[in-house]
Amino acid sequence: MLPFLLKQKLTVGLDIGSHSVKVCEFAEAGKKRKLISLGTAQLPVGAVEDGELRDPEAVGEVIKLLIQNLGIKSKKVAISISGYSVIMKKINLAVMTEEELQHHIQAEAEQYIPFDIDEVYIDFQDLKTNREDDERTDVMLVAAKKEVVNKYMKMLAGIGLQVVVVDVDAFALENSYELSMGQEGNVILVDIGSSKMNINIISGGASVFARDVFLGSRQLTEQIQVKMDVSFEEAEDLKISAQDPGGELSLLAETFAAACAQWILEIKKAIDFYNSNYPEHPLDKMVLSGGGAHIRGIDHYFANESLLDVELFNPFAAAEVDAKKIDPEYLTYIAPEMAISSGLASRKVPF
Ligand SMILES: Nc1ncnc2c1ncn2[C@@H]1O[C@H](COP(=O)(O)OP(=O)(O)OP(=O)(O)O)[C@@H](O)[C@H]1O
Ligand SMILES: [Mg+2]
């Protein structure tokens, strides 16, 4: 059948983080998306590290149970990858057609990527930055290690799931943002996960800066563990129930302040880069997601430091919600963590 005659269906979004797995499923409701399932399940420490699957059996078991408990029937999933095995690079090339670009990139990719070309999957997107008379355009090049991607696919095939889309965390985040908040404006998206922070600047409807920084909320747990001489689990509990990091200068508050200071430093670097390259399009706001966005007072702290308005990301702002299946209070709490999985769940594939 011709591709455009095939029925397109939404995939199940599966975000496999280093702390937890997030699953999200939408159904089409006219022009809107209706949220029909979502959930998270914690992974054993170390089962996923630096974006790589270290313990496929344990992770497979957790995902299988989560999907069963949520009653998800569809087997077609979209996943995303991040970490050291993915390279995102913006390159500047002569304007070409899609086919020419495909050919050029396959032939020339080696010079842009520090990996052996036979060992990576390559993808690209023409950012179409060329204005009239301009003969060059920016192209976002993505290369991901086959070994790392294949390991995820194999693990998921082992529990009866078929991977139909492999995305990159940064772009799933962007997709989720654009679908819920629109393409207008210039924003910096910051997803603070357990072991990495994802920074993505969207300007004029395209990503102009995307970077993973290997700092995250687990670093806070580890520092609390050392400073307060407690177990990892106790440190995690202390972290989650903590007071405002701007509050009194207890050992805990100090630890929060030090971590947040490190994070904002990286964010400011991205903002400075953006401001010097795009001075005519100032940033409108910062949008926070990931488990780290729950840290009390982090939005005010980032706002004070960056001089930007800071808001928590609600990836379901434009979606209908099946209130019979999803508790609104739970949804409000969990929404920022679901940023990437909801972006993945919005991908359509021919069935
Ligand atoms: N209230 C809270 N305060 C501080 N940290 C929190 C809070 N709630 C959750 N977290 C932390 O957020 C992290 C989990 O966030 P998230 O689910 O976004 O990470 P992940 O996607 O699994 O990790 P990564 O993307 O880095 O691989 C954990 O480190 C968890 O301790
Ligand atoms: Mg994550």
Q: How many domains does the chain have?
A: 2
If asked whether residues 229 and 254 sit together in one domain, one would say: yes
> Would residue 81 count as lying in a domain?
yes
| Closest ligand 1 atom to 289 CA | 18
Q: Is 336 in the pocket of ligand 1 (CB under 6 A)?
A: no
Residue owning the nearest CA to atom 25 of ligand 1: 193
Q: What residues form DSSP beta bridges with 138?
A: 92
Task: Work out the percent of the chain whose per-residue pLDDT is above 90.
Answer: 71
Pick from 28-42, 51-65, 123-137, 330-344: least confident: 123-137
Residue owning the nearest CA to atom 20 of ligand 1: 17
> Would residue 267 count as lying in a domain?
yes
State the residue range of the domain holding 175: 1-85+146-181+318-351
> Would residue 125 count as lying in a domain?
no
What integer is the mean pLDDT of 95-105? 91
If asked whether residues 162 and 18 sit together in one domain, one would say: yes
If asked whether residues 286 and 162 sit together in one domain, one would say: no
If asked whether residues 300 and 330 sit together in one domain, one would say: no
Q: Which of 40, 191, 194, 240 to mutate to test the pocket of ligand 1 (most atoms within 8 A of CB)?
A: 194
Count of CB atoms situated within 10 Å of the CB of 107 = 10
- 3-class secondary structure per residue, the chain: CCHHHCCEEECEEEEECCCEEEEEEEEEECCEEEEEEEEEEECCCCCEECCEECCHHHHHHHHHHHHHHHCCCCCEEEEEECCCCEEEEEEEEECCCHHHHHHHHHHHHHHCCCCCHHHEEEEEEECCCCCCCCCEEEEEEEEEEHHHHHHHHHHHHHCCCEEEEEEEHHHHHHHHHHHHHCCCCEEEEEEECCCCEEEEEEECCEEEEEEEECCCHHHHHHHHHHHHCCCHHHHHHHHHCCCCCCCCCCHHHHHHHHHHHHHHHHHHHHHHHHHHHCCCCCCCEEEEECHHHHCCCHHHHHHHHHCCEEEECCCCCCCEECCCCCCHHHHHHHHHHHHHHHHHCCCEEEC
Judged against a pLDDT cut of 80, whether residue 120 lies above it is answered with yes
What integer is the mean pLDDT of 208-235? 92
Q: What pLDDT sits at residue 284?
A: 96
What integer is the mean pLDDT of 55-75? 97
Q: Is 137 in the pocket of ligand 1 (CB under 6 A)?
A: no
If asked whether residues 168 and 221 sit together in one domain, one would say: no
If asked whether residues 174 and 193 sit together in one domain, one would say: no
The more confidently predicted of residues 155 and 83 is: 155
> Would residue 107 count as lying in a domain?
no
- The band of 241, judged by pLDDT with boundaries at 50, 70 and 90, is confident
- The band of 3, judged by pLDDT with boundaries at 50, 70 and 90, is low
pLDDT digits (tens, 9 = 90+) for 147-198: 999 999 999 999 999 999 999 999 999 999 999 998 889 999 999 999 999 9
- Which amino acid type is present at position 340? I
Which residues neighbour 125 within 8 Å (Cβ) at sequence distance 6 or greater? 139, 140, 142
Residue owning the nearest CA to atom 28 of ligand 1: 194
pLDDT digits (tens, 9 = 90+) for 285-329: 999 999 999 998 999 999 999 999 999 999 999 999 988 889 999
> Would residue 209 count as lying in a domain?
yes
Judged against a pLDDT cut of 80, whether residue 76 lies above it is answered with yes
If asked whether residues 50 and 190 sit together in one domain, one would say: no
Judged against a pLDDT cut of 50, whether residue 248 lies above it is answered with no
> Would residue 41 count as lying in a domain?
yes
Judged against a pLDDT cut of 60, whether residue 133 lies above it is answered with yes
| Closest ligand 1 atom to 21 CA | 22
Q: What is the mean pLDDT of the chain?
A: 91
If asked whether residues 166 and 196 sit together in one domain, one would say: no
The more confidently predicted of residues 129 and 26 is: 26
If asked whether residues 269 and 344 sit together in one domain, one would say: no
If asked whether residues 170 and 242 sit together in one domain, one would say: no
> How much distance in Å is there from the Cα of 45 to the middle of ligand 1?
12
> Would residue 250 count as lying in a domain?
yes
What integer is the mean pLDDT of 66-86? 95
If asked whether residues 152 and 282 sit together in one domain, one would say: no
Kindly report the CATH number assigned to the domain that includes residue 249. Answer: 3.30.420.40
> Would residue 19 count as lying in a domain?
yes
If asked whether residues 177 and 187 sit together in one domain, one would say: no
